[in-house]
Structure formats: structure tokens, C-alpha cells
Amino acid sequence: MAREQLFVGLEIGTTKICVVVSESLPDGSIHILGVGETPSRGVRKGEIIDFSSVSECVREAIIDAEEKSNVEIRSVWVAISGAHLQSFNNRGTLILPEDHNAINDEDLRMVEMNAKEVILPPSNAFLHTIIQNYHVDGNKNVINPEGMMGSRLDADFHIVHGVKTRIQNTLRCLENMKLDVEDVVMNSLASAQVVLTQHQKDLGALVVDIGGGTTDFIVYVDGAVRHSGVLALGGDHITNDVSIGLRLPIVRAELLKIEEGCALPPERSLGGKINLKNDPGFSGCEIDRKALDTVIHARMNEILQLLKREVERGCHLDLLGAGVMLTGGCTRLKGIASLAKEIFQLPVQVTTMDNLSGPTSTFENPQYSTAIGLTKYANAVYSQIPEETFFSKITNTLGGLFRRR
Amino acid sequence: MSCRIVGVGNAGGNFLDRLLLNNPFFSGLVAINNDLDALTSSVVPMQLALPPEQELLTALEQVLPQFEAEIQEASVILFCAGLGGETASTLLPHLAAAAKKAKKLTLACVTQPFSFEGKRALSLAVEAISSLKKICDGVVILDNNRFASSSASKAALGETFTASDEAMQVFLPNMLAMLSSKGPVRINRSHLLKALSRAEEKIYFGYGQASGSNRLHEAVERLFKSPQLQGGRVLAKCSAIFMQLRGPKDLSFAEAQAAMQEVERVVGEESDIQLSVSAEEPAGAALQIFILAVEEKAEKKEVVPNVEKIPASVPKKSEPSEPSPAAPLPKPSVKELPLDLPELNLSEEILEFQKPATAKSVTKVKQMQGALNFTAAQRGRFDKSEPTIVEGEDLDTPTYLRLGLKLS
């Protein structure tokens, strides 16, 4: 296997920092070589708040991944999250001269540039410009206009932008470790690479990645990204609520959430008491299960209701034929799929990752979907770009990945 | 309501210049100075020049009729000056007296000199402030040393002066806006004036502005970081708080409510908060919060027993028990008795007096219990992180608490 076909995905999450080393197989699938992981410190709601702590954690995770995969890591693909990420759809238009022969690569770049001619807040920068559809002389939904004749080229793009300095903080953290950053990818976009098939994207699907500090989502309609965003709410909020409501230390509240937590309404609670054993610094106690379920359900219900409202701003739920795919660490919470189904009134499933090989414990765990998705994203980018021009063309052709096939 | 802002001396003129440069449409500015060079370079259209060769008060007498004519149409006169120099410290009390004599609402916002400016400058400033407090309806004092202490130790001198100037730039227009607020929710002007005139000790102010989705909380955060508010702590001891919220038309009810809640968290229980809301700023303008807080001088009531009026039922013990050495008790004086003291209250006080003597039993100072801030407990681990605000609601606060759900 050539060295260039190894990909490293790095996710700096609120709960954990995860590094996945994988290699691409000839059939287009991904083989995971190793996963490095360390609990995260210095990250809140998906954003870095303590630079040195995060740097230290990333270093530990990288070393862990190097040891497990027996690969020396020099460059990474990084996932980014945070409520500062925003998105919108915009159309670029290019009037082609009469003597123009056929639409070429340069025209596609020009139309993309036109679509990006919008006024962002001064502190923000573009993160992704993802093609949705081309229109040639009013002919809608052209998948690839290259080589076609036409006098007017329109292109719809999904544009993601975020606060420049917050994105740079992530990059600086890696620069200090002499790691090259191949690209920065929005969390949900990376997750969607592994949890959705092309067929599901064509049918229309919502991917929800509920992590510790954020809930990232992306909506695909007709095979293209229609809407995306980040809510600064996640599993940490559930833990915090449990800690305050049941008067437990954060660590015990987190454990209780993982072991006994349920997102279903308290009316459907099993009832009874949960016995918490003594720990150093914590004298055991009995917890009322219904109280625990009340706290968790209230928060989870709120997150999903907010998410529903946010998704509805971008597209109608009826367009999501494939339903809702839940991923991220928080989806291990019992009853979350049922609750989401009640709220969205759509088929909901906690996703599994297909087309992967390697340690099953890795790809069966929704916690790793973003980091694994990054490597799949990298593989897809890499496979579409000739090797010699990889670095120069990478940003210009990213959009092609998300085109309808 | 028409206002005049009068800048006295070099610093006062500078304040007005900066104000005018920041907002060229500001009208009603008057600069008074005996430094003709400074006046020549000033952009303030209305200038009253005092002949530099004459004594200050003699020169003032010459321009006073002109000054009185200038303020005749106005109902509020707002003086601004940097005290410590001869000109402002001498002229300001006289000008304020003239304005007051003309029955104008007279307010002053002055800066106290930096400590390095010397004792003489400080004594001049203290003397002027003392006079102004007697004359004006309200005096706001900006202590330059506070700006110096809040700047980095290696900060340039100019930076520290700029901080002082900026505070003045915030105060002047916001104070005027508060006095002439036209929004749907207004501050009762008579309450404001009454509070200002009652203030014997201190008036504080703070300002914050922000744009974006989390503008309210960012603005409140900046407000509390204002040099005078000391993180909002001084609000706890203020009896009257006037808050002005200004923003574009999309300023929401939830934001006004959240602003009030944020401020209520830090103020004392007995504080009277009055809010003015105006959504008349142009679209895209930042949300602005301005607070003016008045700290009333705590009244010390000397309560001493009236031996002659002790009711029969109360044992006649004119000699109090031995005061504790830690809190020596002043010997009660019968001569100092307030004659109109109600009898019932007096006997209660005597009963208290018979208890083991403490300073508390004799000197009754209005005590204010600090408000316990529940915010930190409610937000738990998110206490120090950027809040997640959706439609004015802080989603870091547990959902079950916001929904009022009871946990069995």
C-alpha cells in the first residue's frame, strides 16, 4: 500500500480527542489501522478555551494513534465544530460570451467565485462551498456542465462560514506540533460520509451528530447538501442538568447518564431507585429513576425540538425520504431514537458505518463517526484529484464530491 | 427637551471635540476656555473665550451674560470637565451656579486628576467637587486613577487618557438619551432627577454594546466590565438604578426581559430598577445598554435613651451593661435626645439598649444583605463559558428548571 493512501482524521471534541488512521482499499472502502483517543480538556461546546491543555491532549491522542497503527503521523484532516459555524445557500451566475465554445473548468471556478461574493461578517471566513446544482440556460439540475454549450451558467452552492480566529485556533494548535493540516472539515459533513449512502442522500436525509458539547446536523436533499448547522447543546448539558438536579458530582452524573440514562418521557420510566455506590469523595446514595428520566427527557426533548425548528428553516421535513440518522456519542442514550421519531415524525435510526473494515469496536461506535468520516472524506477527495496536482487543486474540486451522481 | 453640553477648560473642550468627531450631528455644545489656542483648534461651533490676560473670575464675569443667553432655551445643562487644573476647577462651580440660578437641571460629569498630577491638582479637584455637589442636581465623578489601575502597567500614558475620554464619550450622549428617552418603555424623568438630587455620595455608570446572535449577553458582559461598575459589584449597594436599552427594530421583548434579569441578579433586593427601552436605532446597529446607578449616603441614626420618657413598665436602667471591649459604646447623652422621637420606638430602642451593648444596638445603620447569586449554581459547569442563548433564553440553565418541572 502506497504511503499517500493513508489518511488521518482528527476530531477535537468536547468530550474526547480522537485520531483515526486508515488506509483506502481498491474497492473504495476504508480500512481502519488504529484509533488514538484521549479525554478532552480545554474544549467547551466544541470550541477551544484552553489552548495549552488542548495541545497536550492532541499530542497524547496522536502518540496513541501512532502506537496503535504503527504509522508516523505527519498530516491530518481536522474536523471543526462550534456554534460560530453558519451556513446559507447562494446562487452564482456566469454569462458566457457568444464565441465561448463549451463550459470548462475555469467557468465552474468563476461561477463559484460569483456565488461567494456575499458580505460575511468581518470576522468570518469561508469554510466550505459545496455545489448543489448547476443550471445551464435554464436547464435545471445539471449534474456536470463541463463540456456543455450554453450562454448562461448558474450554480447553487451551500456555503459554510465561521469565525476566522476560532478556526485558526485549531490550526495553530496543530502547527505547534509540526503537523500539516490537509483540510478543515465541518463535523457533520465528515460524519455524513460514513453514515449516509449515496442512495440515502438522493432520497433526502438528516444526519444529526450529538456530541458532548454540540449537536451538528446536515441535511441532504436530492443528493446535495441543503442545510447544515451547529447547536451549542449536547451531552454535556444532560450531564450538567443531572448533576444540578440530582445533586451529584459531574463525574458521577456522567456515569449515571451513560449507564442508566433514558431519553423517554418520565411517564414511561421503569421507576424504582438506582443505588449509587460509595466512591472516594462521594458517599453513595439512592436516586429516583423517574427524577433522572425527567431531567434527561426535558433536555433531550428540547435539543431535538430546537433541531427540528432549525432544520425546518432550511427544508421541509417531507423531503427527507430516508429519514433521520443519529450519530455521535450521545446517541448511545437509551430511547433517543424513539424520542426523535416522535418529534420528527420520520424514520429514525442510530447509524452504523458501512464499507469499513478494521477493529469492529471502532466503527460500531457512533462516537468515532466524525473522525472516521474525515478519512473517508479525505479518500474521496484524494481519489478524484490527480496525484501531481493534489495540493493545488484540492480546494477547487471539493465541491465535486457532493454532486449528485 | 433641549440640552446643552458645556465643556469647561482644555479637557472639557477635548471631550466635546471627540464627541463631535464621533457624531457630527450632535448639537448644543458649548466650549468655555481661557486658552485661545485650544479654542481655535476646537471643532465646537459655540465657543466662549475668556480673556487670558485677566483673572479667571473677572474674565468669567465678562462672558457670563453670553453663557446665560446660550443656556436660556435649554432645560438641562450638562457640564463636563477635567478637574485639577485652575480653569475648570475654578470656573465650573460658578458656571453651574449660574445654570442653577436660571432654574435649569444641572448635571456635571468630571474627571479627578491622576495621582501623578500632584497634590495641588487633587486638592483643587476635591474642592471643586465639593462645591459642585452643593450646587448641581447630580455629579458623576470619573477617577482617572481607576483607569490607570485598570490599564496594563506598561500601557502608554495616552492609552490611559483615552480610556478616561472614552468613558466621558459614553456618559454624555447616553445621559442625554436617558433624559429624553422616547421609546415604548421610559424612565420617569422626575424619578431620575429626584434620585440624582438625592445622591449625596456617588453616581456610577456603565455601558456595553454588542451585535450578533448573542448580542444581549455580550453587551451585558461588557456593561459589567465598565471601569466604574467593578464587575457589577457596585450595583449591589446602589438604591436606584436606571437602565437604558437601545437597539434596532428587531430588539425583542425577550432581550429586554433578559437584560432586566441579568441586572436584577447583581443588584440589592431593595434596589429600584427603572428601565427605558428604545428600538429606534437604524437596522444593523448594535444593541446598547447604559446603566446609571445612584448610591445614597447611608444615614446614621444616633439612637440614645431618653431616661425621662421611659415608660413605667420598663425597668429604669439608665446605666447600660458593660460594653464589650471589642465594641466600646459611646456614653449616651440625654441632651442629644431627639425631642420628636416617637415614644413607642424609643422604648423599643431602650430595650435593645439594655441588651449586652454592641455598636449595632446604638448606631442603627441601614443594613443591606448582599443578594446571593444563583446564576452560577444554575449554569453549573457552563458558568464561565459563553452562554447559549436562543430567543432570549439561556439554554445552559437546566431545562427542567426553566420548565419548572418537579423532581420527585
**Top-level CATH class of A86-161?**
alpha beta
Q: Which residues of B touch A290 (CB under 8 A)?
A: 408
Residue contact A295–B381, C-beta within 8 A: no
Residue contact A244–B378, C-beta within 8 A: yes
* Distance, CA of A290 to CA of A267 (rounded, Å): 8
Topology at the third CATH level for domain A235-298:
Actin; Chain A, domain 4 (3.90.640)
Predicted local confidence at residue B132, as pLDDT: 87
The model's confidence at residue B249, banded by pLDDT at 50, 70 and 90, is confident
Residue in A236, A298, A301 closest to B381 by CB: A236
The mean pLDDT of B340-362, rounded to a whole number, is: 40
Helix/strand/coil for B404? coil
Q: Residue B45 pairs with which residues in a beta bridge?
A: none
Task: Decide if pLDDT at B276 tops 70.
Answer: yes
Min Cα separation A298/chain B (Å): 6
Maximum pairwise Cα distance, chain B: 83
Q: In what order do the strands lie in the sheet with B138-143?
A: B46-49, B29-33, B3-8, B76-82, B105-112, B138-143
Residue contact B398–A240, C-beta within 8 A: yes
Min Cα separation B396/chain A (Å): 7
Q: In what order do the strands lie in the sheet with A205-210?
A: A224-231, A215-221, A205-210, A323-327, A348-350
Task: Please give, one letter per residue, the 3-state secondary structure of B147-213.
Answer: HHHHCCCCCCHHHHHHHHHHHHHHHHHHHHHHHCCCCCECCCHHHHHHHHHHCCCEEEEEEEEECCC
Task: Decide if pLDDT at A262 tops 50.
Answer: yes
HSE value, Cβ hemisphere, 13 Å, CA-based, for B362: 16
Predicted local confidence at residue B211, as pLDDT: 83
Q: Which helix (H) or strand (E) holds B94?
A: helix B86-101
Count of beta carbons in the 10 Å neighbourhood of residue A241: 27
Predicted local confidence at residue B334, as pLDDT: 38
Helices A250-260 and A235-245, packing angle to 10 deg: 110
Q: For chain B, say whether A233 makes contact (Cβ under 8 Å).
A: yes
Residue given cell 467637587 in the structure block:
B129
The mean pLDDT of B152-164, rounded to a whole number, is: 64
Nearest residue in chain B measured CA to CA from A245: B407
Task: Decide if pLDDT at A269 tops 90.
Answer: no
Q: In what order do the strands lie in the sheet with A356-357?
A: A180-186, A75-80, A6-12, A16-24, A30-39, A356-357
Nearest residue in chain B measured CA to CA from A230: B388
Measure CA A331 to chain center.
Answer: 14
The answer to whether A71 touches A54, Cβ cutoff 8 Å, is: no
Q: For chain B, say whether A298 makes contact (Cβ under 8 Å).
A: yes
Residue in B212, B395, B400 closest to A245 by CB: B400
The model's confidence at residue A117, banded by pLDDT at 50, 70 and 90, is confident
Q: Is the dihedral of CA B123, B125, B128, B129 positive or negative?
A: negative
Predicted local confidence at residue B307, as pLDDT: 40
Task: Decide if pLDDT at A395 tops 60.
Answer: no
pLDDT tens profile A336-355: 999 999 999 999 998 866 65
Q: Who has greater pLDDT, A71 or B149?
A: A71
Residue contact B407–A246, C-beta within 8 A: yes
The model's confidence at residue A382, banded by pLDDT at 50, 70 and 90, is confident
* Distance, CA of A3 to CA of A24 (rounded, Å): 11
Task: Decide if pLDDT at B359 tops 60.
Answer: no
* Distance, CA of A218 to CA of A152 (rounded, Å): 30
Q: Is the dihedral of CA A241, A242, A244, A248 positive or negative?
A: negative
Instruction: Tell me the C-alpha to C-alpha distance, in Å, between residue B123 and each of A102, B7, B45, B66, B93.
Output: 84, 21, 32, 30, 15
Nearest residue in chain A measured CA to CA from B378: A244
pLDDT tens profile A47-63: 888 888 999 999 999 99
Residue contact B407–A294, C-beta within 8 A: yes
Task: Decide if pLDDT at B199 tops 70.
Answer: no
Q: Which residues of B touch A87 (CB under 8 A)?
A: none
The mean pLDDT of A236-242, rounded to a whole number, is: 95
Predicted local confidence at residue B272, as pLDDT: 83
Nearest residue in chain A measured CA to CA from B401: A245
Angle at B128 between CA B126 and CA B132, to 5 degrees: 115
Task: Please give, one letter per residue, the 3-state secondary structure of chain A.
Answer: CCHHHEEEEEEECCCEEEEEEEEECCCCCEEEEEEEEEECCCEECCEECCHHHHHHHHHHHHHHHHHHHCCCCCEEEEEECCCCCEEEEEEEEEECCCCCCCCCHHHHHHHHHHHCCCCCCCCEEEEEEEEEEEEECCEEEECCCCCCCCCEEEEEEEEEEEEHHHHHHHHHHHHCCCCEEEEEEEHHHHHHHHHCCHHHHHHCEEEEEECCCCEEEEEEECCEEEEEEEECCCHHHHHHHHHHHCCCCHHHHHHHHHHHCECCCHHHCCCCEEEECCECCECCEEEEHHHHHHHHHHHHHHHHHHHHHHHHHHCCHHHCCCEEEEECHHHHCECHHHHHHHHHCCCEEECCCCCEECCHHHHCCHHHHHHHHHHHHHHHHHHHCCHHHHHHHHHHHHHHHHCCC
Predicted local confidence at residue B198, as pLDDT: 64
The model's confidence at residue B219, banded by pLDDT at 50, 70 and 90, is confident
Angle at B55 between CA B53 and CA B57, to 5 degrees: 135
Predicted local confidence at residue B130, as pLDDT: 86
Residue contact A45–B390, C-beta within 8 A: no
The model's confidence at residue B319, banded by pLDDT at 50, 70 and 90, is very low
Predicted local confidence at residue A9, as pLDDT: 94
**Eight-state DSSP code of residue B329:** P
Task: Decide if pLDDT at A267 tops 50.
Answer: yes
Q: Is B313 buried (19+), middle (13-18) or exposed (0-12) by CB count in 10 A?
A: exposed
Residue contact A245–B398, C-beta within 8 A: yes
Cβ-proximal residues to B175 (8 Å cutoff; 6+ apart), any chain = B78, B107, B109, B205, B292
ipTM above 0.90, yes or no: no
* Distance, CA of B250 to CA of B252 (rounded, Å): 6
The model's confidence at residue B339, banded by pLDDT at 50, 70 and 90, is very low
Nearest residue in chain A measured CA to CA from B391: A306
Measure CA A73 to chain center.
Answer: 22
Q: Who has greater pLDDT, B183 or B72?
A: B72
* Distance, CA of B174 to CA of B209 (rounded, Å): 12
Cβ pairs bridging A and B (under 8 Å): 69
Mark residue B274 as left, alpha or beta (left: phi above 0; alpha: psi -120 to 50; beta: remaining): beta
Q: Which residues of A touch B379 (CB under 8 A)?
A: 240
Q: For chain A, say whether B391 makes contact (Cβ under 8 Å).
A: no
Q: For chain B, say whether A241 makes contact (Cβ under 8 Å).
A: yes
The mean pLDDT of A367-387, rounded to a whole number, is: 84
Predicted local confidence at residue B246, as pLDDT: 86
Predicted local confidence at residue B148, as pLDDT: 61
Q: For chain A, say whether B405 makes contact (Cβ under 8 Å).
A: yes
Residue given cell 429626584 in the structure block:
B194
Count of beta carbons in the 10 Å neighbourhood of residue A86: 18
Cell numbers linked to A318: 417531507
Task: Decide if pLDDT at B358 tops 60.
Answer: no
Q: For chain B, say whether A166 makes contact (Cβ under 8 Å).
A: no
Instruction: Tell me the C-alpha to C-alpha distance, in Å, between residue A282 and each of A23, A277, B396.
Output: 45, 8, 25
Residue contact A240–B408, C-beta within 8 A: no
Cell numbers linked to A12: 477535537
Task: Decide if pLDDT at A226 tops 90.
Answer: yes
Q: Residue B205 pairs with which residues in a beta bridge?
A: B292
The mean pLDDT of B319-324, rounded to a whole number, is: 43
Helix/strand/coil for B390? strand
**Eight-state DSSP code of residue B308:** G
The answer to whether A82 touches A168, Cβ cutoff 8 Å, is: no
Q: For chain B, say whether A249 makes contact (Cβ under 8 Å).
A: no
Q: For chain A, say whether B396 makes contact (Cβ under 8 Å).
A: yes
The model's confidence at residue B201, banded by pLDDT at 50, 70 and 90, is low
Helices B86-101 and B119-135, packing angle to 10 deg: 0
A-interface mutation test, from B399, B407, B408, most A Cβ less than 10 A away: B399
* Distance, CA of A347 to CA of A203 (rounded, Å): 13
Task: Decide if pLDDT at A157 tops 80.
Answer: yes
Q: Matching CATH topology for A86-161 and A235-298?
A: no
Q: Which residues of B touch A244 (CB under 8 A)?
A: 377-378, 380, 398, 401
**Eight-state DSSP code of residue B387:** P
Average pLDDT, chain A: 87
The mean pLDDT of A231-246, rounded to a whole number, is: 94
Min Cα separation A307/chain B (Å): 12
Predicted local confidence at residue B376, as pLDDT: 43
HSE value, Cβ hemisphere, 13 Å, CA-based, for A393: 14
Q: What are phi and psi of B357, to 5 degrees?
A: -70, 135
* Distance, CA of B129 to CA of B127 (rounded, Å): 5
The answer to whether B102 touches B66, Cβ cutoff 8 Å, is: no
Q: What percent of chain A has a predicted confidence (pLDDT) above 90? A: 59
Count of beta carbons in the 10 Å neighbourhood of residue A27: 6
Predicted local confidence at residue B35, as pLDDT: 87
The answer to whether B257 touches B194, Cβ cutoff 8 Å, is: no
Q: Which residues of A touch B403 (CB under 8 A)?
A: 298
Residue in A231, A232, A291 closest to B407 by CB: A291
Q: Which residues of A touch B400 (CB under 8 A)?
A: 241, 245, 294-295, 298-299
| Sequence ranges of the domains in chain A | 86-161, 235-298
Residue in B380, B385, B399 closest to A45 by CB: B385
Residue given cell 421611659 in the structure block:
B310
Residue contact A83–B395, C-beta within 8 A: no
**Eight-state DSSP code of residue B307:** G
Helices (H), B180-296: 189-198, 215-224, 253-266
Q: For chain A, say whether B284 makes contact (Cβ under 8 Å).
A: no
Q: For chain B, say whether A294 makes contact (Cβ under 8 Å).
A: yes
Task: Decide if pLDDT at B322 tops 80.
Answer: no
CA dihedral A361→A363→A367→A368, nearest 10 degrees, is 120
The model's confidence at residue B316, banded by pLDDT at 50, 70 and 90, is very low
The answer to whether A188 touches A128, Cβ cutoff 8 Å, is: no
Nearest residue in chain B measured CA to CA from A266: B407
Predicted local confidence at residue B298, as pLDDT: 55
Min Cα separation B215/chain A (Å): 13
Q: Which residues of A touch B407 (CB under 8 A)?
A: 245-246, 288, 291, 294-295
Nearest residue in chain B measured CA to CA from A246: B407
Task: Decide if pLDDT at A209 tops 70.
Answer: yes
Predicted local confidence at residue B112, as pLDDT: 84
pLDDT tens profile B39-91: 888 888 888 888 888 888 888 888 889 898 888 888 888 899 988 888 888 88
Task: Decide if pLDDT at A115 tops 70.
Answer: yes
The model's confidence at residue A143, banded by pLDDT at 50, 70 and 90, is confident
Cell numbers linked to A381: 477527495
Count of beta carbons in the 10 Å neighbourhood of residue A44: 21
Min Cα separation B401/chain A (Å): 8
Predicted local confidence at residue A125, as pLDDT: 92
B window 194-213, beta carbon within 8 A of A: 212
Measure CA A372 to chain center.
Answer: 10
Measure CA A338 to chain center.
Answer: 22
Q: What percent of chain A has a predicted confidence (pLDDT) above 70? A: 91
Min Cα separation A301/chain B (Å): 9
